[in-house]
Structure formats: structure tokens, C-alpha cells
Structure 1
Amino acid sequence: MSVTPENSKIEQNRKIDNCAPCAAQAVPIMFSKISPEELARQLEPRYPLTVAALREMEGGLHHLEYILNLQERWQKIARGENPLESEVLLYVDPSRMPPADAEYDLVYCGGVLGLFSAAVLARRGYRVAVFDQRRVGTSHREWNISDDELEKFVEAGLFSREEIEQAVAGRYRSGLISFYAGNIPEPPAELNLGGVLDVAIDLAKLLELARRKFEEAGGVCLDYRAFERVTITRTGPVRGVVEVKDKDGRTERLGARLVVNALGAISPLSLVIQGGQPFDGVCPTVGTTATGFEVGERPRQVNPALGDILVSVAHAQEGRQYIWEGFPGHAGEMTVYLFYYDLVGKDFAAKQSLLDLFEEYFRLLPTYKTPGPALRHLKPVYGYIPARHHRAVASASRRGLVSVGDATSPQSALTFCGFGSQVRNLPRLANLLSFSLDHALLEEKHLRAVGAHQHNLSLAWIFSRFMSPYDAVKRPDDVNRMLNVFCAALDRTGPGLTRRFFQDRFGWLDYNRLVLTTAWRAPRVFPFSYEVLGPAGIKNWISDYLRFSADALLRTLYSKLPPTWTARLEKRLSRLAPALAFKLAAHREEWAASGFFKR
């Protein structure tokens, strides 16, 4: 299929705006020369269920082209076909910097979840601009989070509790984690958790409120601007110029002391910043928001008081362990996801098709939730959520350029991509960006400390590997067996540790207790781990564990100091050695975001 960019097709942009794939903002929108209906006819013989469902959705057939574009782009990335640095990121002598049409302290590339920290910084008095290839702050979907995490909006001074409540689409009594236990020796071990992804948020309302507060504070929203490139001074004072194109193809240049990359993990800019390092894992994800499922408390019925966090209903199929996630929303709506964890590489790329996964989604949906006679799919959701984890990778930042959110390719066993991670780290990100601007700490060695990374999550990648079948043909039940053992171990350790684990807030003692409990209950975890991870994976885990332990020791020692001492130390360092103070502040902010300290 031949595709060409047409920035002037703004109406098609708006039709696609009502879908928010996790990697949406990372991929330039391309439009083909054939109509959506013709494309649907071409794809219908192979994907009859998918095409039929999209036909019933408003603007649904337009998504076919976007899915193909995203799918093609991901497969190129997985094969190692990355963009050239000279195309999107340039470092030049100050005398060769292009002129800017306007000057700001920060320019945000990407205006979905990055809008929250942009709004906080604008309210602190910084000059901030945000641009996006769609309308800034657009996302027509629900996200799930907990009240503890929502409190970070209040802590950051962005929203009041009353304002947050206006965007709450629903609350659940608990969330279910359950893995299929048919024909395996391990008994089922369901977990029902409160305080984990138990609040559904209408992100469109929350983003609209953030946009209003951002603009009231003097922030500038630049809608329907496509990213072209960023140029940064090689020497001297740090300054960047971001080039964008508006819907009519006109170039605008935005000057900034600091450029913030919030474009997502597979944008050309993010790939270049990461130095071409390949991803370690990926989570292809599809789903829909729908109405008309059977409501009740029996298996496969929708209970509005319950959410499904991680659920499997069968052993491995098509060589993958499919996992379901589902959350009731407002007005009888329910958002359902189907996804699986996989490795990344040339041998895997061709099989990681979103259209194939969508066809499986519509075929298998009745095995997860029973459709009623009036079942209606309202809109699709889809994306690739890639991650870098156990290997040392290039910094997600460069001189004058810092990456935030999914652009850093973080990974959690639960929140693979992350509204929750963004919100949990909102005060941390705003505080560190403020410090770096106020003290002109804008070199890569400084900015690499800014972000949502956590030392405890450096170990979480191992759990996603256990959720991918090692030998799906001979042992299709491996994943469910191990996860039932793991859930039983979590249940044995108690609700506190279990909740901390699924909130990405587990500490060193938590982790060791969990590993030892799992090994005690199922000694086969050791040979299984070696089989799945191999010698290189075990070596990486040991390295991650040692770094995690060193950070835990540093945190423990720091916590023993009287608060008055630490306050004086940080104040004095800020005057005498701001770079050292910034490094210490980065550690403290990480510990606070992880729930170990209070600010």
C-alpha cells in the first residue's frame, strides 16, 4: 500500500483522535490514496470479524489505515531499521543555530500525558509551550488508577480533590487477578485487590481541565503541529530550537532552554535518543470500549463493582499467552484489552500483527465476557508498548533534551505503559525539571536523573518474561502454572505486600520475601527461571539485584539522618555544589515516588 503524508487532512486526524493507542503520539499519521471502504474490502477476507466490528463504529474504518501504518512502523523497528540521527536531532555550533519564532523555558514535544507536568511548571511561572500532531490534550478513553496515585495531582498543586472527582468515571470494590488453572496440578490462586487500578478516570475530562489550567497560567498550546526536528547548541549555553509544521505545511521554530520529549517510545526522536539500542520486550495490545455485555455476578458476566486487572481464561494459544484486562466505565460502557508479552527481534516482528491480534480478540471475546443481544463496540484501542529493561542502554536524555513518560521505554509487570507511572511521578518530575532549569543543569549527565525510573522496577522485567511461553507447543500451561504459584505466594505474604507490588512500590525486604516464599512453595521455579532466562538473563538479574540492593542501602542510611540535618545539607549543597545537590534530590524524589519517603 502506498502512503503519503497529508497534513491538510485535519478531519481524518480528528476522526482518529477518538482512539488513544498507547503509542499513538509516537507515530506520524499517514494517509493512503485509497478510500477506507476500499481498504476494508481488501482486508475483509483475512480479517472478517475485525472489519465487521469497525464498520459498526463511528469512523471505525479509518482505523484500518492507522493500524496498518503503526504495524508497519513497529515491524521495521523490530527489524532494526531505525531513523538516522541527522534527520531529527542536530547538534551545531551556536553560530549555526536557526532563528526561533518564539522563546520558551520548555517546549514539550507531545501533548497527551506530558500536559500534566507542563501545566504544573507553567503554574510555577515557567514559559512553556506544548505541541501535538492532534489537538493538545486529546484522549477519548478511560484509564485506571488508584486514589493514592490521584493524590499526587493535589500534591503537585495541579488539581483539587473536587476537580479530580469530576473526571472519575467509576470506582470498583476490588480488582481481580486470576490465571487459568485447568488441567494443571497447581490450585487456582485468585487475588482480589483494593487500592490497585480501582478508579476509572475519564482522561478526556482530566486533560481538558489540565489544558485550561495550563493556558490560564500562560502556557501555549500548539494544536495539529507535526514534529520535524530539534537543533541544540553543541557548546556554550544550552539552547534548543524545535521545528514543527502546521496543518498547512508551514514551518514554525520554537526556541527553548530545555526540550521535553513526550512523543512515545517508537517516535523517530525517541529511537535516536536511545542510540539505536533495540527493545527487550513488547506488549502488543488491542481492545474496544463496548456496551451490552451480560451484567451479573456469575463467571464471564460484567460486575460493575469489579475490575479485571490481569486475567487469563485458557492456556497458550497461537504460541502466546493471551491476557485480558477489563474495566467497567460510565453509562454501562466497558473497556476491554487483550494483550500478550513477547520478545523483540527479526524473528518475532512478522508475527506481531495488530490486525491478527484484533481478529483473535473478536473471536475469543465471548470466552472472556458473555455478549448480550445488544452488544455494541464503540471505539477501538490498540498499540505496541515496547520496553528496554535489563540491559544497560543509552540515556533517554541528551544535552538540552530530556525524555519523559513512555518515551523512556520503562516497564512494569503490571503498568506496562503508564498513566499511573506518570501521575505517581508528577511531583518528582516537576521538582527535578524546576531544579535543573533554576541551576542551569542541562547537560546529559544531569538530565539522565530526570524521569520515572525506579530501582525496584529494574527487577520487574523478569515477571513479564515468565508471562511469555517458553515452549507453547509442548508445555502450553507453563505460564498459568507459574503465575498461579506466584499469586499463591503473594496471597501468603499478605495484602500489604501484594498491593505494594502491583503499585510498583515494593521494597528490598518485600522483594526478597516474595522470591523466597515463591521458591519455598515451588522449588521448580529455579530450573524454570534458568530455562526461560538463560545464563545471560540470570547474569542481568544479578546485576539488577545488586543495584537495587545498593540503592536500598543508600536509602536506609539517608533515612537514619535527622530531617533537620538533611534539609540543611540539601540547602547548603544547592548553593555550593548544585550538581551534587541535584543528584541527591533525584534519589530522594525517586524514593518518595516509590512510597518510601514523604516529601
Structure 2
Amino acid sequence: MELNKYGVSIFQRYSFAARPQLLPRRKLCLQAQASSPSRTQRIMESIPVNGEVGGAGGAYSYNALKRMDNLWSSICSASPVCGGTLGIFVATALSSRGLRVGIVEKAALQGREQEWNISRKELLELVEVGILTEDDIDRVTSATFNPNRCGFERKGEIWVNDILNLGVSPARLIEIMRKRFTFLGGAILEGCGVSNIFVYEDAAVLKLSDGKFLSSRLIIDAMGNFSPVVKQIRNGRQPDGVCLVVGSCCRGFKENCTSDVIFSSASVNTVGQSEVHYFWEAFPAGSGPLERTTYMFTYLFPEPGCPKLEELLEDYWELMPKYQGVSLEDLEVLRVIYGIFPTYRNSPLRAAFDRVLQFGDASGVQSPVSFGGFGSLTRHLGRLTDGIYEAVSNDFLDAQSLSLLNPYMPNLSASWLFQRAMSAKKQSNVSPDFINELLFANFQSMQKLGDPVLRPFLQDVIQFGPLVKTLGLVMLTRPLIIPSIFKKVGILVLFDWSGHFVMLGLYTFLSSFIDPLLRPFLDSFPAKTKYEWKQRLEAWKYGSGLDYKWSDSSEHDRRK
């Protein structure tokens, strides 16, 4: 037996067997053997595949797509096992504070080839934490583009600047983080699965797949949406909603200097037994001037009969050329992209065990209307780094203390109404064009109200004042849309949302007026009381969205 000791262990991708469960085998619905290959299969099998990695969007092969579709089928009745790669950021941040940190990674710790799209403002939050420099931002940025469109087919469009306008290379960014982490004394255990986790009064002990043991004061679960630890905590519960994403990176586009933050299709489509409403995003790729990445996504409730990713890709090949004004025959497909992003109303996820904390997508801290948690990671990393460091330093590692780091956030819960409103379902009493009409009405109102209202929303931050102004203006200018909203989402959903709306107002009041009165006295409190109240103040601030300062965006972009 070999026992290593770390202050913090961060899991990114591994097998987990603390509570084994046998799942029934499922038959594939797509009869690939009995019929001719789909267009998706032909396209994907013609593309060379190199360097597939873990995490969302890290695999590109057709076999990987089939595995993901099997995973999606199982979500409708059980929870799967998967992993992610963003734990290196919190690991580096904690190492910079002097903690000894180890990362356990079943595969190789590296970033995917496909770019992440983000704003400079969000990357500068990593600079503020101290794990990135502005020179690093320049090195990892592959593409910069403006303006950025929010379009609504047959309704209209608005244009904004500096929203998701950078293409960042995950491979370069993760490599910088990896070098910085090891320079700070961090250890990376690659090719190591974990078979068991044992939590004791004074430590958490991990049994690795090679039979060795790792002892740690705190385990950070950074395995993403399909963390097996989260599966155990949620007791196999189905997600409350799922965002399915498909797309590609292609070469052959001529007009390639602007992006689409969101483009909403005009009406609802029928795929199999389900009604779906398609949304689009499009970004210039940093790998070449004629290369462009386009995504098509939809929101669904997981249930039998939901479309598979391959079925969505078949629609994608038909619809993308019309959306982008190009012939598919004129494009060279470089990569095919797909992903499943489940969300739960009970989020962020409170700690269920002593010495185990969920981080990033595993914690559910990302917005239910976005797919991918890199933006939420940059936003919350400073808060979580401070809180984790204080918890480890003072041994506040019981489940109750750790739960204060993933608190209830009413602005996150309030976002659920938007996902429900953007999810299509068969309703004879609601127009097929309703989603498009509602979105355009909201975006048009936000544009009239200006940047302090529009910019936070576009970066997944809901604030009480801007939300009240937007809803008020929509009611005044489009009163006839209100009955359709009630029909679309239902009275019970609106009633539940109204409770979070009231709490959003309360958190805004507490952060604006009570926080300034209490914060100066924190240092006079006993250590445990100081920790608890600091996390409450942070919950008020982040739960009301008041951590986001819209004016910072303009200032940072001017500096750039």
C-alpha cells in the first residue's frame, strides 16, 4: 500500500464505484447495420480524428457520437458517468495560495482543439484571481471579432459588441495552466481512475485504479455534468431540463468577421416524437480566415422519444447552409461537434458529504440557458478560491460548512423560467412562432433600456432591476403576449418563479444595504462565524447578480 497526502485532491475524469449499480442493456434505435449510412455518419467517417480529449466537445468521431447517443438514451431513465477538464483552474488558484494540491485525471490533462468563445471581460477575471496574465490572454486568443448579432428569424435583430467575441484555444490555455500549476508545486496524476472514496473524520482517502491510495483533506469534484458523485447525491434523478447541441467547424465561408450570439428559428420543428425549437450560434474560427464554427441547439425535457444527437445532426446538415447562406458542397468539414448539457432546478448542489465539494458544472452553478460552464467558472472562481482556502485552512470541511460555498442563488433559479419558455412542446393553444416572438420582444426591450440591462443578460447574469424594467416594458408594449406566456409555461411554473423573483429582490436589498453595514465587522468575529457570514454576504452578492458591473466591460475593451 502506498499513501500520498494532499491538502486538496481534484478529480477531473475517472471511474467511480463507491455505490455499484447494474443498469439494463439498451438496444440502439438507430439501425445503422440494417440501413445505409446517414449523412452524419458519412461526413464524420471522412474526417481524420486526432487527439480526442475528455470534457464537453472534446470528442469528434462517429463512434464517440454513438456513445453519446447511448448516454442520452440512458438519461431518460438513469444517470451516466462522464468527466471534464476545468479543475486545473481552481487547482492552480489554490496552489497559488500555498495549498498542496493534486489532480487525478483518468485520461490526459489537455484542452480540446475546438475553441471556447468568451469575452475579454470574463478572461480578465482570471487575471484578477492571479492565475493568468494579460499577455497570456493575447497568447491563447485565436480570433477576435465584432459586431455580434442577436437575431430572430422573420422578426428582427440587434447588434452588440464584445459579447462572446473572442475565440480562445483550450489547448493553449490548459497548457499554460498546467505549467503554472506544476511550477507552483502541484502534482498531476494522469491515467489514474478512482475505484473508491472513503471519508473519515480527519481525511478523505481515495483508492486509485492501480491499487494505490491518496489521502486528502478535501476532495473537489470537477468532473462536470455527469459526475458519478453527483449521480449518487441526486440519487439517479432525471435532469429537469437538457440542452442538446450539435455543430461543426468548416472551411469555405467567405463572410467571416461577425458572430451570432443567438439566432432563433422562426418556428417549431418535429423530430421523431418530439417538438423542438432550434437556436443557432456562429463564430469565426481562429484556425483560418475562411473557417467558421456553427452550433445548433435546443432545449428539451428528457423523456422517451426525445430526438438523438444523430437525428439533430441530420437536421443540422439540411438547415445550416440556409442559415449561413452557403452550399454544403462548398464547405470542407473539419470537425463535428455535439454535446449533452443537463440542468437541475435544485442548483447549485449543496455538499452531501464531509470533505467533498462539487465545483464548476458538477455543482450546477452554470445558467440553465447556457451550454458550457467556462463563463460561470471565470465569474465564480475568485469567490470559490477564497472560500475553499479559508475552509481548508481552518478545517471547516464538514458538509454544512462546504454547502455555504454552493449556496442558493435566486438569480440562477429565476433563469429557469427562460429555459421553460424556450423549450418547445406540443400545445395547440400556443402559436408555433411564440418562442421567437417572445424572445424578440424581450431583446428589443432590453436594447431600448441600454447596456446596463442588456449586457448582464447576454452574459448569463440576471439582476433584479434590469429584470423588472424589461418585464415592465414588455407588458406595456406587448400586452397581448402575456396570456400566451401563461399558456406556454403554466401557472405552477410561474408561481414557483415568482418566489425566486421575490428572493432576487430581497438578495438585491441585502447586498446593497445590509452587506456594507456588516462587512467591516467580519474581522472581529470568531473564525467560524467570520467564515459563515462571509459566505452569506457572497451569496447575497452573487445571488443577486451584483458581482457583475456592466461598466467594467466597456473599460476593459477600451484598454484592449
Taking structure 2 as the reference length, the TM-score comes to 0.84
2:84–2:224 contact (8 Å) kept in structure 1: no
Question: Is 1:195 aligned to residue 167 of structure 2?
Answer: no
- How far off is 1:418 after superposition? 1.3
Partner of 1:50 in structure 2? 40
Partner of 1:446 in structure 2? 401
**Distance in 2 separating the partners of 1:224 and 1:453:** 35
Structure 1 counterpart of 2:494, from 532, 538, 544 = 538
Question: Is 1:499 aligned to residue 499 of structure 2?
Answer: no
- How far off is 1:380 after superposition? 2.0
Which string of whole-angstrom CA distances, capped at 9 and with x for unpartnered residues, describes residues 192-215 of structure 1?
111311111111100110001001
2:281–2:294 contact (8 Å) kept in structure 1: yes
Show structure 2 runs of 5+ residues with no match: 1-11, 17-29, 51-58, 553-560
**Distance in 1 separating the partners of 2:36 and 2:490:** 37
Partner of 2:205 in structure 1? 241
1:285–1:384 contact (8 Å) kept in structure 2: yes
Q: Give the 3 Å change call, closer, same or farther, for CA 46–456 of structure 1 in structure 2.
A: farther
Amino acid of the structure 1 residue aligned with 2:208? V
Q: Give the 3 Å change call, closer, same or farther, for CA 524–228 of structure 1 in structure 2.
A: farther
2:347–2:408 contact (8 Å) kept in structure 1: no
Partner of 1:76 in structure 2? 74
Aligned residue pairs, count = 512
Which string of whole-angstrom CA distances, capped at 9 and with x for unpartnered residues, describes residues 102-148 of structure 1?
xxxxxxx9661111111111122111111222211332221111111
**Distance in 1 separating the partners of 2:13 and 2:490:** 35
Structure 2 counterpart of 1:255, from 203, 215, 221 = 215
Which string of whole-angstrom CA distances, capped at 9 and with x for unpartnered residues, describes residues 335-359 of structure 1?
2111101113xxx243231111121
Partner of 1:337 in structure 2? 295
**Distance in 2 separating the partners of 1:167 and 1:209:** 9
Which string of whole-angstrom CA distances, capped at 9 and with x for unpartnered residues, describes residues 55-97 of structure 1?
2211389823322222222322322x348xxxx9xxxxxxxxx
Question: Is 1:386 aligned to residue 386 of structure 2?
Answer: no
Which string of whole-angstrom CA distances, capped at 9 and with x for unpartnered residues, describes residues 132-191 of structure 1?
22211332221111111111111011111011110001111121111112xxxxxx2312
2:347–2:413 contact (8 Å) kept in structure 1: no
Residues 152-551 of structure 1 mapped to structure 2, 5 A cutoff? 152-181=125-154, 188-233=155-200, 236-237=201-202, 239-245=203-209, 250-293=210-253, 295-296=254-255, 303-304=256-257, 306-318=258-270, 319-330=275-286, 331-332=288-289, 333-344=291-302, 348-369=303-324, 370-371=326-327, 374-389=330-345, 395-412=350-367, 414-451=369-406, 454-471=409-426, 475-551=431-507
- How far off is 1:433 after superposition? 0.8
Root-mean-square deviation (Å): 3.0
Partner of 1:125 in structure 2? 98
Structure 2 counterpart of 1:577, from 523, 529, 547 = 529
- How far off is 1:26 after superposition? 8.5
1:411–1:461 contact (8 Å) kept in structure 2: no
Amino acid of the structure 2 residue aligned with 1:434? Y
**Distance in 1 separating the partners of 2:546 and 2:212:** 37
Which string of whole-angstrom CA distances, capped at 9 and with x for unpartnered residues, describes residues 382-412 of structure 1?
11101112x5886255321111111123452
Identity between Structure 1 and Structure 2 (%) = 24
2:15–2:195 contact (8 Å) kept in structure 1: no
Q: Give the 3 Å change call, closer, same or farther, for CA 191–573 of structure 1 in structure 2.
A: farther
Taking structure 1 as the reference length, the TM-score comes to 0.79
Which string of whole-angstrom CA distances, capped at 9 and with x for unpartnered residues, describes residues 286-320 of structure 1?
11122112x13xxxxxx32x111111344211121
**Distance in 2 separating the partners of 1:208 and 1:593:** 32
Partner of 2:21 in structure 1? none
- How far off is 1:579 after superposition? 4.3
- How far off is 1:259 after superposition? 0.6
1:292–1:373 contact (8 Å) kept in structure 2: no
Q: Give the 3 Å change call, closer, same or farther, for CA 417–392 of structure 1 in structure 2.
A: closer
Q: Give the 3 Å change call, closer, same or farther, for CA 381–411 of structure 1 in structure 2.
A: same
Partner of 2:23 in structure 1? none
Amino acid of the structure 2 residue aligned with 1:51? Q
2:84–2:222 contact (8 Å) kept in structure 1: yes
Bigger mean CA deviation after superposition, 209-218 or 117-126: 117-126
DSSP 3-state at the match of 1:190: strand
**Distance in 2 separating the partners of 1:321 and 1:264:** 26
1:170–1:199 contact (8 Å) kept in structure 2: yes
Amino acid of the structure 2 residue aligned with 1:54? M
Q: Give the 3 Å change call, closer, same or farther, for CA 470–354 of structure 1 in structure 2.
A: closer
**Distance in 1 separating the partners of 2:122 and 2:284:** 19
DSSP 3-state at the match of 2:332: strand
DSSP 3-state at the match of 2:525: helix
Partner of 1:138 in structure 2? 111
DSSP 3-state at the match of 1:322: strand
**Distance in 2 separating the partners of 1:429 and 1:43:** 49
2:411–2:545 contact (8 Å) kept in structure 1: no
DSSP 3-state at the match of 1:321: strand
- How far off is 1:264 after superposition? 1.5
- How far off is 1:595 after superposition? 1.6
Show structure 1 runs of 5+ residues with no match: 1-23, 29-39, 89-108, 182-187, 297-302
1:240–1:400 contact (8 Å) kept in structure 2: yes
- How far off is 1:43 after superposition? 5.5
DSSP 3-state at the match of 1:320: strand
Question: Is 1:64 aligned to residue 24 of structure 2?
Answer: no
DSSP 3-state at the match of 1:595: coil
Partner of 1:32 in structure 2? none
- How far off is 1:434 after superposition? 0.6
**Distance in 1 separating the partners of 2:546 and 2:224:** 21
DSSP 3-state at the match of 2:212: strand
- How far off is 1:545 after superposition? 1.3
DSSP 3-state at the match of 2:143: strand
